[in-house]
């Protein structure tokens, strides 16, 4: 739960102009204990971070400018709750990689400048039973988490779940429908083509919802990698997803389908295409929810390569017990298989607390 800070208490940190602002400091810590084994891995006893949500902290604030206008800022970073390292995976990452932006909003919608979400993020995490779990959600694992093991398995989406040097326009809400248009400047001298473009939409109508995204990615995030290599040695990725949700009594059913094609916008021929589908469900049970989800990804390549026809399927079941609105305890079982590698089985128990 974010706690609003009294402006006077921040006098030593913020300038005098901040006394007119609403500033909040908040975050989330999530840690688990278990035995982890993705396909192709050896089993590892683990105290891990971010089982259901990646741990983060930061601050945000806004100021009413009058006339229906509001200015806002958002500065948030990830950390590992098991070691205290900054970032999501302890790798090459900017400190405030979750958010670092300023925005202006009003009746026209909202314009944000800085680092913010990529268009793939919301449709991926909203339309699956495990939400933004980068450890146990089958669709999130397939879409956004590469395996750094002998399998060489790549995440489907290029460009990360957040984009730097970005401008986002968000529409007002029209009867449950909203959309976001994303543009990232690549900032590579002499290479104006090195940029990302994308959009997503969300529609909510009672127990039913729809969403989706499309993007053209040519720049890596949050720190740029080798120019001309965003995925599997190709210089661009074009991808799209459609997703839906249906609430039926105590249950919510989810489905997603994504196609991602990696090729070159200039230069060598060839491509690598992935097709991913996922179904999942959550069912209210006591003070928590039973969770189940499955995702399947298959690659095809031209010309034919070792990756051609390779496939991954992941299945997870679990229970998320709510102590309160801020604290929950979860238990997860996961099964993971990649073509040509042994099946991996994982289990864990974790605690998540919002502050």
Per-residue pLDDT averaged across 61-70, rounded? 96
Would the CA dihedral through 135, 140, 144, 145 be positive or negative? Answer: positive
Average pLDDT of the chain is 92
Contacting residues for 74 by C-beta, under 8 A, at least 6 apart: 58, 60, 99, 100, 101, 102, 103, 114, 116
Per residue in 169-182, pLDDT tens? Answer: 999 999 999 999 99
- Residue 111 pairs in a beta bridge with 104, 169
Structure confidence at residue 6 as a pLDDT band (50, 70, 90): very low
Instruction: List % helix, strand, coil for the chain (3-state, nearest 5).
Output: 5, 55, 40
Q: Does position 94 have pLDDT exceeding 50, yes or no?
A: yes
The pLDDT value recorded for residue 20 is 53
Q: Cα(55)–Cα(10) distance, rounded to whole angstroms?
A: 24
Q: For the chain, how many residues are written? A: 355
CA gap 6, 129 in Å, rounded: 37
d(Cα 50, Cα 32) in Å, to the nearest integer? Answer: 8
Quote the CA–CA distance of 186 and 174 in Å, as a whole number.
Answer: 32
> Do the Cβ atoms of 316 and 291 come closer than 8 Å?
yes
Give the number of other Cβ atoms within 10 Å of residue 51's Cβ.
Answer: 27
Write down the domain spans for the chain. 31-68+117-163+186-354
Q: Which residue has the tokens 């990529």?
A: 118
Which CATH architecture group holds 31-68+117-163+186-354? Beta Barrel (2.40)
**pLDDT band (50, 70, 90) for residue 226:** confident
Element (H, E) at 143: helix 138-144
Q: Are 31 and 48 in contact (CB under 8 A)?
A: yes
pLDDT at 268 over 90: no
pTM for the full model?
0.91
67-81, 115-129, 180-194 — which is least confidently predicted? 180-194
């Amino acid at each position: 739960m974010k706690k609003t800070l009294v402006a006077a208490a921040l006098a030593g940190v913020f300038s005098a102009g901040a006394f007119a602002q609403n500033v909040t400091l908040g975050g989330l810590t999530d840690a688990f204990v278990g035995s982890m084994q993705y396909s192709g891995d050896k089993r590892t006893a683990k105290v891990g971070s971010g089982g259901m949500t990646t741990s983060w902290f930061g601050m945000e604030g806004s100021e009413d400018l009058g006339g229906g206008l509001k200015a806002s800022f958002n500065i948030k970073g990830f950390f590992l709750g098991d070691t205290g390292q900054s970032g999501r995976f302890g790798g090459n990452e900017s400190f405030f990689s979750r958010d670092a932006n300023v925005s202006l909003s009003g009746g026209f919608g909202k314009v944000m400048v800085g680092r913010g979400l990529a268009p793939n993020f919301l449709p991926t995490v909203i339309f699956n039973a495990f939400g933004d779990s980068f450890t146990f959600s089958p669709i999130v694992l397939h879409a956004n988490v590469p395996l750094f093991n002998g399998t060489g398995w790549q995440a489907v989406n290029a460009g990360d779940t957040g984009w730097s040097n970005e401008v986002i326009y968000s529409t007002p809400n029209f009867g449950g429908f909203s959309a976001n248009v994303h543009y990232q400047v690549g900032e590579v001298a002499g290479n104006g083509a090195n940029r990302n473009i994308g959009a997503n939409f969300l529609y909510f109508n009672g127990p039913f919802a729809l969403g989706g995204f499309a993007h053209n990615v040519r720049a890596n995030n949050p720190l740029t990698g080798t120019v001309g290599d965003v995925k599997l040695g190709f210089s661009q990725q074009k991808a799209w997803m459609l997703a839906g949700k249906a609430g039926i009594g105590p249950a919510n059913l989810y489905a997603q389908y994504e196609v991602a094609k990696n090729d070159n916008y200039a230069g060598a021929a060839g491509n690598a295409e992935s097709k991913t589908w996922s179904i999942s469900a959550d069912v209210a049970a006591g003070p928590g929810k039973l969770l189940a989800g499955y995702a399947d990804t298959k690659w095809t390549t031209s010309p034919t390569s070792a990756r051609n026809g390779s496939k991954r399927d992941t299945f997870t079941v679990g229970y998320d017990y709510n102590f309160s609105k801020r604290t929950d305890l979860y238990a997860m079982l996961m099964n993971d298989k990649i073509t040509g590698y042994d099946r991996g089985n994982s289990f864990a128990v974790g605690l998540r607390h919002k502050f």
